[in-house]
Amino acid sequence: MFEPGSSVAYDLSSSVSARGQDGALAPERDAFSAVVSARVVSASERGASLQLALSGVELRQNLAQPEDRVHQALGETFEIDVAPSCRIVEFRFPLDWSDAAQRLVAGALRTHEHVLQSDLAWEVDQTDTLGRYRAKYTRAGDAVTRRKVLYYDDNGLAAFGMTILVPHATARASFDARGILRSEVRERVQIRVGSETRADLDQRSQLVRDDSKYRAPAPATVLAVADPFVVHDEGAAALPHAPTDLGEAWALYAELAAVLDPFTMSQARSLAGLIAAHPSLADDLVARLEGDALGEVARSSIFWVLELAATDHARAHLTSLVDAPLPNDRIRAAVALSGAAPTLDVGQRLLDMYYEDQEPTAATAGLLALGVVGASGDASAQRFARESIGAVFEDAQTQDERLAALSAMGNTGDPEFMPQLALSLHDEDPSVRGTAAEAMRHLGDDARPHLQAALETEVEPGAAKSVMRTLREIGPPRPDDLGWASERLDAAPSVAVRGELIAWLAADPTAEGSAILIERFHAEPSSALRQLIGRYVPASELR
């Protein structure tokens, strides 16, 4: 696919709109369009390097926060490395590009990243502006369809009650021997804190090949590796420049750590990479936590950097900060520690936190973080987490203790917990039923029959919504789910539950799923749900 010296050009257009609480689209939106010209610089069996440049850039940013807006030209040449599967493995941007400019361009290209395999159906993990997500692909001839299944909670958002939901996210692309001919993306993503939707965003993006618009990229200036959306496994990050001694490292540290609020992923990676090279710099960063001079965002940034640095010295700081004076700092330390060091020793320390911390929210965070250790630690750490969380569940005396144990089970993704979770789906307490349903989100297709059986008898709307939300996170309906979903649409008395079922059916790629929605449109008494169906099915098919 990649031949040295070959070139292509694309028309790129993208827009992001926000929905209000009533689901209606707001008039303000962000819009970005440009011609993307790309030239293959080198290629081998391991992949290719490409030089790219943008021309005819038009940018309107009404929704973006001030710190995320771009105030510079984007015409300079930059580079990407691409694997044989078409996965983007590295960006190299000009040194004078701001973090916001890097995020804008990298995000626009990653939106149209299609990771190819030779199968007819496959699954891979990818990243974008919101984090790491699971993508399901299907192939038909020279065309592929990508659907986002769920976003992983790599940053521990669940410990703070935050979730990222994907009501609808589909990308379709066609290819020829030189690469993408056309790619169209339609996504709706919601960011929730508890039950409150803080952001409800629609994105539309299109990439269309038009080689007549090709403009050869100019010779590249000095470039630096920078991808604001990917944290490499080794934890090290690209720096603006590599310090030659400790004195220069201190100067660079002072520059990077001068502003911790607002804080960007690119800044966090650079600062973490510097601390990984010079571990003692973490001492000064931790010292900033003393007193109350820093706001909550700045304090969170420090824990984020320590987790990304992933040095023994940084982990030691995180371990000691589990006993920090402020409960929120103890929570942040537990979350960061479970990500940076999912070991048996850390698991034991987090269990102690659960039993010993006098602040209930912090104690619960310790148990939830132990679940993360159970998901990513070695065999001994996983066994310890399984046995400890199981014991907490068996010994629970209060509702809060039961709910914490169920959520921790979910964080492990351990199929050994399926019996307890399945039984809890039928508990007399609706909050227990809802929490058990949400805990099944990492257990995959094996959870489907338990969730479907629970929904057939569930009468409490909140618990029913939790069941449906987890079904949607596990993945779109399978062929043998469609009849069941149609029956539940007829039987569900709750508008909220029918809405979740409609959104789940909308993720089905077959004509049968659309046919169910069309039939439901004419039988649905709720005007809001008829409007919802109209977002997924063209008006010409509903008439």
Burial (CB < 10 A; 0-12, 13-18, 19+), residue 374, is buried
pLDDT band at 168 (very low <50, low <70, confident <90, very high): confident
The answer to whether 182 touches 205, Cβ cutoff 8 Å, is no
Sorted by sequence, the CB contacts under 8 Å of residue 419 that are 6+ apart come out as none
- pLDDT category at 239 given cuts 50, 70, 90 is very low
Please name which of 488, 475, 464 lies closest in space to residue 169, comparing C-alpha atoms: 475
Average pLDDT over residues 263-285: 76
Task: Report the run of H or E that residue 470 belongs to, with start and end.
Answer: helix 461-474
Q: What angle separates helix 430-439 from helix 399-412, to the nearest 10 degrees?
A: 10
Q: What are phi and psi of 359, to 5 degrees?
A: -90, 115
Domains of the chain with bracketed CATH: 7-225 (2.30.230.10), 235-321 (no CATH)
Q: Residue 200, Cβ neighbours under 10 Å: how many?
A: 20
According to the model, what pLDDT value does residue 478 have?
Answer: 86
Determine which helix (DSSP H) or strand (DSSP E) holds 49, and give its type and residue range.
Answer: strand 47-60
Q: Please tell me the distance from the alpha carbon of residue 523 to that of residue 517, in angstroms, as a whole number.
A: 10
Decide which of 389 and 122 is more confident.
Answer: 389
- Residue 212 burial by Cβ neighbours in a 10 Å radius (0-12, 13-18, 19+): exposed
Report the DSSP beta bridge partners of residue 43: 48
What is the arithmetic mean of pLDDT over 528-538? Answer: 83
Tokens of 76: 């300079």
User: 3-class secondary structure for 80-114?
Assistant: EEECCCCCEEEEEEECCCCHHHHHHHHHHHHHCCC
pLDDT greater than 70 at residue 457:
yes
The alpha-carbon radius of gyration of the chain (Å, integer) is 24
pTM of the model: 0.59
**Phi, then psi, of 174 in degrees rounded to 5:** -120, 150
Pairing of strands 78-82, 88-94: antiparallel
pLDDT of residue 237: 40
Mean pLDDT of the chain: 85
Whether the predicted pLDDT of 428 surpasses 80: yes
Q: In what order do the strands lie in the sheet with 223-225?
A: 121-128, 131-140, 143-151, 162-176, 179-193, 196-209, 7-19, 25-44, 47-60, 78-82, 88-94, 223-225
The DSSP secondary-structure symbol of 181 reads E
Dihedrals phi, psi of 78, to nearest 5 degrees: -135, 175
Token representation of residue 215: 């403009």
Phi, psi for residue 14 in degrees, rounded to 5: -150, 145
In this predicted structure, what is the pLDDT of residue 198?
78
Check residue 172 and give its pLDDT.
93
Cis peptide bond upstream of 262, omega within 30: yes
Question: How confident is the model at residue 448, as a pLDDT?
Answer: 93
pLDDT score for 234:
34
- Diameter over CA atoms, the chain: 72
Give me the mean pLDDT over the 460-485 stretch: 88
Average pLDDT over residues 309-336: 92
Answer for the pair 77, 221: CB distance below 8 angstroms, yes or no.
Answer: yes
The whole-number average pLDDT for the span 289-301 is 81
Mean pLDDT of 257-282: 71
Q: What's the whole-number mean pLDDT along residues 393-408?
A: 94
pLDDT in tens, 176-224: 877 899 999 999 888 877 667 778 888 999 999 999 999 999 987 777 7
pLDDT reported for residue 497: 86
Residue 261: the pLDDT is: 59
pLDDT at position 265 over 60: no
pLDDT greater than 80 at residue 267? no
Instruction: Provide the pLDDT for residue 238.
Output: 44
Give the per-residue pLDDT at 155. 65
Structure tokens at 443: 């257990």
Residue 262: per-residue pLDDT: 54
Question: 3-state SS of the chain: helix, strand, coil percent to 5?
Answer: 45, 25, 30
